[in-house]
């Protein structure tokens, strides 16, 4: 098998070989090349020891942060390439980190520490594919399989559980039976994994093309990470608007939206509060009044626990809280939502609503979609007219108000908000003099 290696990676391999060392591209890049995809980065492994690496690449710009684990990053053409000494991992103490790593001269030992057969292949032009665990065959059969005994591998490092689901969700691999069973069995080891790592893998999983089927098959694993989701599993929705239970509606909505982390995460969490909000009317129909607020509260707890960055979490919480707003065709309502959400988030809200509708029943579907389309058109129209809907766009600011004698502080903020109300309602034009006059009037009235 011939793989097209990037010229820069090839150059590094050639240099190492010229110094008498072995060198191969290895891991994810080989997997992707065999899959027929373009690798996004090229990792290189070699029998050269760290101190030898430093010598060989003395003339290059390098970064040696990882050198004690055997990794030297070598800059070629402005891009860093990680060159790593063949390694075997020592005993794993905490389901994540080996207590020690040691270096070896044996490529197959290095490949044997890797997580999945598809990730345990190396390649160079002279020797072709080095594939002691049958990764290429597994790729041909579309199978994700642990290298070695699955239970042991997940015990060593539980993050592999989520890595495995990510590879399945992104590339469409079927998880081999024993590997799958071990993933289910060992899911609670994920409790020992740092929240940031879990969050990163989770984003990768939900953005995968095959996310919905992986999340369905491994929902118990997801619940080990987000226990709140378990309440939605098989929770019925007896209403004309739905044809799936809450969990399956969530899955359909996840796959109905663009694979952007914030949007996919919103869909994953948007209805998580439904079971807690559920009531039954005299006809036996379910209602979920206020579920969006409960969902947003739960989402906040979950995202905080996962140490999600603030901006990400703010987006998800806003979209969750507003996902169920029914646009009624009035400009006033669109202005209000624009004011609360701002330009970027309101556009995302339309995407969220369309995905939500796509995952509901056919009942009133066309009408629901038409309402979203109309609200979107109105929004774009308002935005193109540069209409005022936020404090930022108001023709006066706090300093202007102070210049007409309104003292800084809470009152000033309240006056600004009243001015924004007056402008969005069309009572006052968004002009400096008119606004200052109005500001004085409001201030005097409240005094």
The contact set with Mg ion (CB under 5 A) reads: 28
Binding to ligand ATP by residue 203, rule CB under 6 A?
Answer: no
Q: Residue from 117, 119, 379, 428 that binds ligand ATP (CB under 6 A)?
A: 119
Residue pair 110/45 in contact (Cβ under 8 Å)? The answer is yes
138 touching ligand ATP, by CB under 6 A: no
Residue whose C-alpha is closest to residue 220's, from 237, 233, 239, 201: 233
Q: Quick one: what does residue 114 bind among ligand ATP, Mg ion, none, with the CB cut-off 5 to 8 Å set by partner type?
A: ligand ATP
Q: Partners of 279 in the beta sheet?
A: 287
Q: Which residues in 331-370 contact ligand ATP (CB under 6 A)?
A: none
Beta strands in 140-230 (DSSP E): 143-144, 174-175
Q: Count how many residues are written for the chain.
A: 447
Choosing from 6, 12, 13, 28, the residue that interacts with ligand ATP (CB under 6 A) is: 28
Using the Cα atoms of residue 240, residue 259, residue 215 and residue 317 in order, give the sign of their dihedral.
negative
The reply on whether position 43 binds ligand ATP by CB under 6 A is yes
Compute how many residues bind ligand ATP; rule: CB under 6 A: 11
Q: At what angle do helices 159-171 and 177-185 cross, to 10 degrees?
A: 130
- Near ligand ATP in 260-319, by CB under 6 A: none
Q: What CA–CA distances, in Å, run from 138 to 4, 117, 241, 303?
A: 20, 7, 42, 35
Asked if residue 238 lies in contact with residue 324, where contact means CB atoms within 8 angstroms, the answer is no
Q: Which residues contact 213 (CB under 8 A, 6 or more apart)?
A: none
Q: What angle (nearest 5°) sits at the alpha carbon of residue 208, between those of residues 342 and 322?
A: 25
Q: Is position 160 an interface residue for ligand ATP (rule: CB under 6 A)? A: yes
**Cα–Cα distance measured from residue 240 to residue 229, given in angstroms and rounded to the nearest whole number:** 23
List 114, 248, 249, 270, residue binding ligand ATP (CB under 6 A):
114
Q: Least distance to ligand ATP from the beta carbon of 32, Å?
A: 7
Q: Determine the Cα–Cα distance for residues 54 and 66; give it in Å rounded to an integer.
A: 12
CB of 154 to Mg ion, least distance (A): 20
Given the complex with ligand ATP, which of 159 and 226 has the nearer CB atom? Answer: 159
Residue 82 lies near ligand ATP (rule: CB under 6 A): no
3-state secondary structure of 120: coil
What is the C-alpha to C-alpha distance for residues 64 and 329, in angstroms, rounded to an integer? 60
Give whichever of 28 and 98 is closer to Mg ion, judged by the CB atom: 28
Interaction partner, residue 269 (Mg ion, ligand ATP, none; CB < 5-8 Å by kind): none
**CA–CA separation, 134 and 43 (whole Å):** 20
CB of 180 to ligand ATP, least distance (A): 17
Q: Which residue minimizes CB distance to ligand ATP? A: 28
In the numeric block, which tokens belong to residue 69? 């684990």
Nearer to Mg ion, 28 or 275 (CB): 28
- C-alpha span between 290 and 276 (Å, rounded): 10
The least CB distance from residue 86 to Mg ion, in Å, is 17
- Under the binding rule (CB under 6 A), the answer on residue 130 touching ligand ATP is no
Residue choice 27, 70, 150, 261 for contact with ligand ATP (CB under 6 A): 27
Tell me which of Mg ion, ligand ATP, none is bound by residue 119, counting a contact when its beta carbon lies within the kind-specific cut-off of 5 to 8 angstroms: ligand ATP
Minimum CB–partner distance for residue 146 and ligand ATP (Å): 10
The reply to whether 179 sits near ligand ATP by the rule CB under 6 A is no
Q: 332 near 359, Cβ under 8 Å? A: no
150 lies in the binding site for ligand ATP (CB under 6 A): no
What is the distance between the alpha carbons of residues 342 and 270, in angstroms, rounded to a whole number? 19
98 near ligand ATP, rule: CB under 6 A: no
- Nearest of 182, 141, 115 to residue 35 by alpha carbon: 141
Nearer to ligand ATP, 88 or 325 (CB): 88
- Closest to ligand ATP by CB, 225 or 401: 225
Residues that bind ligand ATP (CB under 6 A): 27-28, 43, 114-115, 119-120, 157, 159-160, 163
């Amino acid at each position: 098998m011939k793989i097209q290696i990037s010229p820069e990676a090839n150059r590094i391999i050639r240099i190492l070989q010229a110094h008498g060392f072995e060198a191969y591209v290895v891991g994810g890049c080989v997997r992707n090349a065999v899959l027929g995809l373009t690798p996004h980065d090229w990792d290189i492994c070699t029998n050269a020891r760290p101190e030898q690496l430093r010598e060989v690449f003395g003339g290059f710009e390098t970064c040696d942060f990882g050198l004690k684990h055997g990794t030297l990053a070598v800059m070629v053409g402005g891009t860093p390439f990680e060159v790593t000494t063949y390694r075997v991992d020592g005993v794993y103490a905490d389901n994540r980190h080996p207590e020690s790593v040691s270096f070896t001269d044996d490529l197959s030992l290095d490949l044997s520490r890797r997580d999945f057969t598809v990730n345990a292949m190396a390649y160079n032009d002279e020797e072709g594919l080095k594939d002691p665990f049958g990764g290429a065959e597994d790729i041909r059969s579309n199978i994700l399989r642990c290298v070695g005994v699955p239970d042991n591998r997940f015990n060593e490092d539980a993050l592999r559980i989520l890595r495995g689901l990510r590879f399945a969700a992104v590339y469409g691999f079927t998880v081999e039976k024993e590997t799958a069973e071990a993933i289910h069995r060992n899911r609670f080891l994920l409790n020992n994994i740092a929240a940031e790592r879990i969050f990163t893998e989770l984003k990768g999983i939900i953005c995968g093309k095959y996310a919905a089927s992986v999340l369905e098959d491994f929902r118990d694993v997801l619940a080990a990470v987000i226990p709140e989701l378990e309440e939605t599993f098989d929770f019925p929705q007896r209403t004309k608007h739905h044809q799936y239970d809450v969990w399956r509606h969530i899955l359909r909505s996840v796959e109905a939206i663009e694979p952007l982390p914030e949007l996919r995460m919103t869909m994953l969490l948007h209805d998580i509060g439904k079971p807690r909000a559920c009531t039954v009317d005299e006809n036996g129909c379910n209602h979920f009044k206020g579920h969006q607020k409960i969902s947003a509260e739960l989402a906040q707890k979950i995202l905080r626990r996962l140490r999600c960055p603030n901006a990400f979490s703010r987006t998800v919480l806003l979209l969750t809280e507003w996902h169920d707003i029914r646009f009624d065709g009035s400009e006033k309502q669109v202005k209000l939502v624009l004011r609360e959400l701002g330009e970027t988030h309101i556009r995302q809200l339309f995407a969220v609503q369309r995905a939500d509708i796509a995952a509901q029943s056919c009942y009133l579907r066309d009408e629901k979609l038409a309402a979203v389309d109309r609200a979107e058109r109105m929004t774009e129209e308002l935005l193109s007219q540069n209409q005022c809907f936020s404090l930022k766009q108001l023709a006066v600011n706090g300093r202007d108000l102070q210049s007409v004698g309104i003292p800084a502080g809470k009152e000033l903020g309240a006056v600004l908000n009243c001015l924004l109300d007056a402008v969005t309602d069309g009572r006052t034009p968004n002009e400096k003099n008119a606004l200052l006059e109005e500001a004085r009037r409001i201030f005097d009235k409240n005094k």
